[in-house]
Amino acid sequence: MSKIHVFVSFDIEHDGELYELLLEQSRSPSSGFAVLGGSERSAGTDVGSASVRRRIREADQVIVICGKHTEASTRVSAELLIAREERTPYFLLWGRREIMCTKPIGAKASEGMYGWTRQVLQNQFTLVSRKADADAAAESVRHATRKR
């Protein structure tokens, strides 16, 4: 299986070290994922910059690292909205074991946060990979049907 390309959304002001931990984990040959980029400081009120939108669109999946102050981060909420608009799958990752983590504004009440373990990440990447394979097969069938 090829590596899943991810965009990482996180609260820059409070959870930068969590992003660094995920980057470090992605560098392991057996990680199953590569980080295309992550949240970035933006000038003024431009929280959803064109470059962030492009990187989210190009990603196979978005990982939203949730920390104590995530619900107050307009940046993370904007990135979650962009992921939905671009139809990029995402999941919420519980970033800190020792404290209560919060979901970004805009996250659905039914969306849970996954514990940060290697197995959870692998399971999420496997789901995305299987869906991509199924979508490609369906597109192939549609294409073959149109040619008839």
Q: What is the pLDDT of residues 57-107, one digit of tens each?
A: 999 999 999 999 999 999 999 999 999 999 999 999 999 988 999 999 999
Q: State both tokens at 88.
A: 């990029």
Residue 61 CA to residue 122 CA, distance in Å, equals 12
Q: State both tokens at 5.
A: 């390309």
Nearest CA to 106 out of 74, 136, 137 is that of: 74
CB atoms within 10 A of CB 41: 7
pLDDT at 128 exceeding the cut of 90: no
State the pTM of this model.
0.86
Which band of pLDDT confidence, cut at 50, 70 and 90, is reported for residue 44? very low
